[in-house]
Chain A
């Protein structure tokens, strides 16, 4: 047990160090510690399933240990930006005010072609149109276009539109969603009355939704149409 315990700590720390060295390019949406946890957990969990010579504890100890590390690390890092920069690379500004910062590209081992390709995926064909392009800690590129290349929003166009919020599912395939009912403070009896007025049985409802403006939408099951 103690051997497995110490081995897990060593492998975890080595992986953190390795992934930190590899930089943000390898990450893609996950942070360093999250990626390592994901890699290790999947490997360790499959170990005793496929190998019958290994006791279950050989997998349980590393699983608990890695989970503990991940939770503790994220808790500590959320309270210290200095430590966060040690465990995962800080964000890098690749383009500032339309100008590519070559030293940052070099530091992050990103070629100009890769940068242009990333910008194209965000519908930008010229780096000079970009106010800021930032390589985030999870390896994703955030692009903020210059104001003249940004799409105008409803406020800028002076168009008034009522906020409809999100759709809350009330009935899904004939089953009431109790959580959303209590969230919207709706009574089943009131909704049943509405369904009755519309000559719809609740078991025939495929989907019933209500948005934040109380707009109701009912879709009937195909077999009952």
Chain B
């Protein structure tokens, strides 16, 4: 009976953890998406501040995200931010567009994995 109660408690904790994690991933996604939306396609100084803000946000959240998100997905986001930063520094409009697209899809990928649908489960 004691082990049954412990297992039920563990199960409840697991469910709570999963729900909280879902909220956390979605909030990080929301914060990053908001910054990305503000980044302009034209290279400018304003972009530099936004990318720095994005980088800081990512550095502060990525370690917590690594608990539930695969390292491959995390690396993709880090790479995309680095590409965006480089493209903005060199003033390459096309590269900024590509990097933004890449970053958006990489961020979407981490929330996609937290959704309960046939694609994910199967």
Interfacial residues, chain A to chain B (CB-CB below 8 A): 1-3, 5-7, 10, 52-58, 61, 64-65, 67-68, 71-72, 75
Contacts and interface: CB of A to CB of B under 8 A. Distances in A.
Nearest to B65: A55
In this complex, the interface size class of chain B, counting residues with CB under 8 Å from chain A, is 20 to 34
Given A68-B11, A71-B7, A72-B7, A1 B22 contact: yes
- Which 9 A-B pairs give the minimum distances between C-beta atoms? A71-B7, A75-B4, A68-B7, A3-B120, A68-B11, A1-B68, A1-B18, A6-B121, A1-B21
A2 B18 contact: yes
Interface string B1-20: 10110111011001001100
A118 B29 CA distance: 62
Helix, strand, loop or mixed for chain B's interface?
A: helix
Summarize A's interface: helix, strand, loop or mixed: helix
A3 B121 contact: yes
Contacts of B120: 2-3, 6
B69 interface: yes
19 contacts: A1-B22, A2-B22, A2-B115, A2-B120, A3-B113, A6-B120, A6-B121, A10-B121, A52-B71, A53-B71, A54-B70, A55-B67, A55-B70, A61-B14, A68-B8, A68-B11, A71-B4, A72-B8, A75-B1
Nearest to A75: B4
Given A1-B22, A1-B114, A2-B22, A57 B3 contact: no
Interface of B: 1, 3-4, 6-8, 10-11, 14, 17-18, 21-22, 66-72, 113-116, 120-121
Contact of A6 (B4, B14, B17, B116): B116
B68 A55 contact: yes
A112 to B, nearest CB: 42
A7 B113 CA distance: 12
A75 B3 CA distance: 9
Contacts of A64: 10-11, 14
